[in-house]
Amino acid sequence: MNRSEVVNEILKKKCSAVMTDSATTFAPSNIALVKYWGKRNAELNLPMTSSLSISLDGKGTQTTIQILDSHQDQIFLNNDALSNESLFAKRLISFLDLFRSQKNYHFKIQTENNIPTGAGLASSASGFASIILALNELFDWQLSKKELSILARMGSGSACRSLWSGFVKWNRGEREDGMDSYAEKLPYEWPELRIGLLIISEKEKSIGSREAMNRTVSTSKIYQKWPQQVAQDLKKIEQAIREKDFELLGETAEANAIAMHATMHDAFPPIHYDLPETLQLKNKIWKLRQKGFPIYFTQDAGPNLKLLFLQSQTEAIKKQFY
């Protein structure tokens, strides 16, 4: 199946009449503790492995969508009108192409991030998740969270995890059409757990995660060990969350991010996202930890770091890093 066949399968009994003038929705950004790295099907964004994330409370994307009486979409990012030729707009338009129905609808999309766009802070995840939520409202499809997760995945893999707060697991699934590859909220709460963003650069990353993943899978020799590492890390992280074992959570998440970056360093040409400041901050974190400070990091496809710590350490962390 290709992308539009999957979408048509999910929407087949749904009406495509516009039910409301406009719809506004919010989806949180999510940070993976066990990363999604590598696709087994690039068109459907089907992952090689399962992954597990935590959503950021109140940080993410708000999207407003309206039907336009035009033969073109109009896209606004953080209140700026974008050219439909820009990379951001092209990616969004090709996603919207899946949902125009026979009426060939065009849309005005206003999307606002309260996190930096494209800086490895997973804004594409919250972006596509909020768009699919907004389309669901606009057309009153009343889709289940499972169906919305599958549709969000068509925009960006990690978007399928951005439909919930708290801990979320994306199950890899086995089917070729990906109908069993969707995310679910895990039944655990850990209100004392904190994520701190250490923003080193807000610039767009030099190489996008899609290209970096594909290059890693096709050229890195150590990538073949990655699925095994993920399977072990998922068990440990789930145990850590269940038992509120912060040390196990931090150690596993940090090791998982380091292993993901190792597969990129092993790709050809190699991919390095670290800036000099990234390395300095990692060294600082490791030194603080040696002194008994309970703090860990994780890192996605970019130079910025996300700190993992407990609420009781908030003031001490602020003093050290902000």
- Residue 195 phi, psi dihedral angles, 5° rounding: -120, 125
Among 7, 56, 119, 122, binds ligand PMV (CB under 6 A): 122
Binding status of residue 10 toward ligand PMV by CB under 6 A:
no
Among 183, 178, 206, which Cα is nearest to 42's?
A: 178
Binding status of residue 197 toward ligand PMV by CB under 6 A:
no
Rounded to whole angstroms, what are the CA distances from 155 to 84, 98, 192, 210? 17, 10, 32, 11
Binding status of residue 25 toward ligand PMV by CB under 6 A:
no
Least CB distance to ligand PMV at residue 213 (A): 7
Q: Which is nearer to ligand PMV, 66 or 111 (CB)?
A: 111
Least CB distance to ligand PMV at residue 33 (A): 9
Among 54, 121, 200, 301, binds ligand PMV (CB under 6 A): 301
Binding status of residue 234 toward ligand PMV by CB under 6 A:
no
Peptide bond into 187 cis (omega under 30): no
Among 124, 162, 216, 263, binds ligand PMV (CB under 6 A): 124
Among 284, 256, 214, which Cα is nearest to 45's?
A: 214
Name residue 1's amino acid.
M
Q: Applying CB under 6 A, which part among 58-66, 101-109, 119-127, 138-146 lies near ligand PMV?
A: 119-127
Let me know: does 92 contact 131? Beta carbons within 8 Å: yes
Binding status of residue 300 toward ligand PMV by CB under 6 A:
yes
Binding status of residue 113 toward ligand PMV by CB under 6 A:
no
| Chain-centre distance for alpha carbon 302 | 13
Within 10 angstroms of residue 239's Cβ, the number of other Cβ atoms is 13
Among 49, 149, 158, 252, binds ligand PMV (CB under 6 A): 158
Binding status of residue 306 toward ligand PMV by CB under 6 A:
no
Count the helix, strand and coil residues of the chain and give each as a percent rounded to the nearest 5. 40, 20, 35
DSSP class of 121: S
Q: Which residues bind ligand PMV (CB under 6 A)?
A: 32, 35-36, 51, 122, 124-125, 156-158, 209-210, 300-301
